[in-house]
Amino acid sequence: MQPDDPDSFHVYDTTLRDGTQQEGLSLSVGDKIAVARHLDEIGVGFIEGGWPGSNPKDAEFFHRARTELRLEHALLTAFGATRRARTTAADDPQVAALREAGTAVVCLVAKSDRRHVERALRTTPAENLAMIRDTVAHLRAEGKRVFVDAEHFFDGYRADADYALEVVRVAAEAGAEVVVLCDTNGGMLPTRIGDVVSAVRDRTGARLGIHCHNDTACAVANTLVAVEAGVTHVQGTANGYGERCGNADLFSVVAGLETKLGRRVLPPGRLRELVRVSHAIDEITNSAPDAHRAYVGASAFAHKAGLHASAVKIDPDMYQHIDPAVVGNDMRMLVSELAGRATIELKGRELGLDLSGQREALGRVVDLVKEREAAGYTYEAAEASFELLLRDETEGPRRFFTLESWRVIVERRPDGEVVSEATVKLVSNGVRHVSTAEGNGPVNALDRALREALEKSYPGLADLDLVDYKVRILDGRSGTGAVTRVLVGTSDGRDRWDTIGVDENIIAASWEALQDAVTYGLHRQGEQIVPK
């Protein structure tokens, strides 16, 4: 393993900027903050938050991140371009947005292909070099750490190697800490990548990074080869998100670096969080997890019956390239998407529960999770619901209230207004409550009625807000009769938690998630739990 100096090797995530360019993927500001928290949990060094000078959403993200995003490992990075031609960095409003983003690190994209300089920027090669030099020097003088993404580098190197090399030299001499060689079109192959990186390293002496797209299905391989050729900064996205065919999957990159090349690039113990974080981010982005993803996919260490399975029973290493637990995954002999007792026990330890002597309870949890995941639940992105399940099975079933019934009516009035009305009947602290509330939709009405029924007993409910609501149809072949999964995000103004519900009826699934959200929130507030 390499030394544990976090600056000796950079793991740089660009999910929130480059990853969001994937077709069909759109993140709210709240989503971006949630994804950033998950990325920080695995210990990446840098999280590229977006382009603050390009759109209001990214500007809002950086503004909110100052107070809402407390990162333990990562440094938030602002992305932008070099100054425009025929101006100065000090006077360029886009550069000003980078200065004012509130990040210690800025990543600049710069043209390194002479053809792009002349045809896209419509300026001269000399002016492009001046733009790079001026912008890097200006931001360095403002106290920023600066990385430079040399866009279209490999295509530019093939067309005019001397100019591409000059871009690297100018950026480094102006103060860029890292110059990132970008395979922007994703057309490179591993052998060619290695040759070019070695040549650039030898001829410039600059610290180099690598940023690969996946148009030849080689992005991860190209990234690993570049590391072997001398780069010490890798860029990628969670689950390989990105436009066209995506970017290098950062989870596969770091797993390969640690398990194959012997480089410690994440904090100790964080590699085993890859599966959980991969699935959690899929849920936030509303993407269906790919079971066949390397390392983190549900099928990555799955084995069917027959000779293969017989060999695995004798020695799993005969058919597995690593121990799946290293990345937080599990070997599966049958179709199953859940961890074993050891993983549940470790998760309990994270939650402050000592489950080492509760083998029977752990077995019940494993069986219950298996049963529920087969029905459509997924706990990777709904850890609050999982914690409630775990506590129910190990500490005894408890709730703050007992539901008698709920009902929702949706009415279209003569003026065209559509109003939802919900009635909730429950018992809390021995008192029966009946509450009716209106909302702009059935879930909103249910949420209001539930809170109204409980607010006298638990005034802390006023601090909880529903901040996210996602619906996924689990079997599109069943049309409107399909099983529905609902994820609800709730916040108390400091932290966020996610809960899940699954049912053929979308309102029933929503109620289940809402009920867990309220229960978990009151548990966090230290309210007394009344045994059933």
Our measurement of the distance from residue 269's CA atom to the centroid of its chain's CA atoms, rounded to an integer in Å, reads: 18
Q: 233 Cβ partners below 8 Å, 6+ apart? A: 9, 10, 12, 147, 178, 180, 207, 208, 209, 210
Residue ranges of E strands in 298-417: 398-399, 402-412
**Gap between the Cα atoms of 377 and 12, Å rounded:** 31
Question: Residues 446, 422: contact at Cβ < 8 Å?
Answer: yes
Alpha helices in 185-293 (DSSP H): 190-204, 219-228, 250-259, 274-284
**Residue 50: which pLDDT band, with cuts at 50, 70 and 90?**
very high
What 3-state class would DSSP assign to 336? coil
Give the three-state DSSP class for 140.
helix
User: How far is it, in rounded angstroms, from Cα 487 to Cα 17?
Assistant: 24
DSSP-assigned letter for residue 531:
E
Q: What global pTM score does this model have?
A: 0.68
pLDDT higher than 60, residue 9: yes
Q: Residue 13: which pLDDT band, with cuts at 50, 70 and 90?
A: very high
Q: Which residues contact 378 (CB under 8 A, 6 or more apart)?
A: 279, 283, 337, 485, 500
| pLDDT above 60 (res 336) | no
Residue bearing tokens 């998760």: 347
Q: Which two tokens stand for residue 444?
A: 């909103």
What is the length of the chain? 532
The residue-averaged pLDDT of 57-80 equals 95
Amino acid 33 reads: I
Structural contact between residues 64 and 29, judged by C-beta atoms closer than 8 angstroms: yes
369-407 as b/e, with b when 16 or more CB fall inside 10 Å?
bbebbeebbbbbbbbbbbbbbbbbbbeeeebbbeeeebe
Q: Does the pLDDT of residue 192 top 90, yes or no?
A: yes
Average pLDDT for residues 144-159, to the nearest whole number? 97
pLDDT of residue 531: 47
Q: What digits encode the pLDDT tens for the residues 498-514?
A: 999 999 999 999 999 99
Which residues neighbour 432 within 8 Å (Cβ) at sequence distance 6 or greater?
Answer: 404, 425, 426
The SS3 call for residue 40 is helix
Q: Are 497 and 385 in contact (CB under 8 A)?
A: no
Place of tokens 């290293």: 326
State the Cα–Cα distance between residues 199 and 196, nearest whole angstrom: 5
**Mean of pLDDT values over 18-35:** 95
Please check the confidence at residue 334 and state whether its pLDDT lies above 50. Answer: no
Provide mean pLDDT across the span 123-143. 97
DSSP tally for the chain: helices H, then strands E: 17, 16
Instruction: Return d(Cα 89, Cα 136) in angstroms, integer.
Output: 9
| Lowest-confidence pick of 55-59, 346-350, 409-413 | 346-350
In the prediction, which pLDDT does 221 show?
A: 98
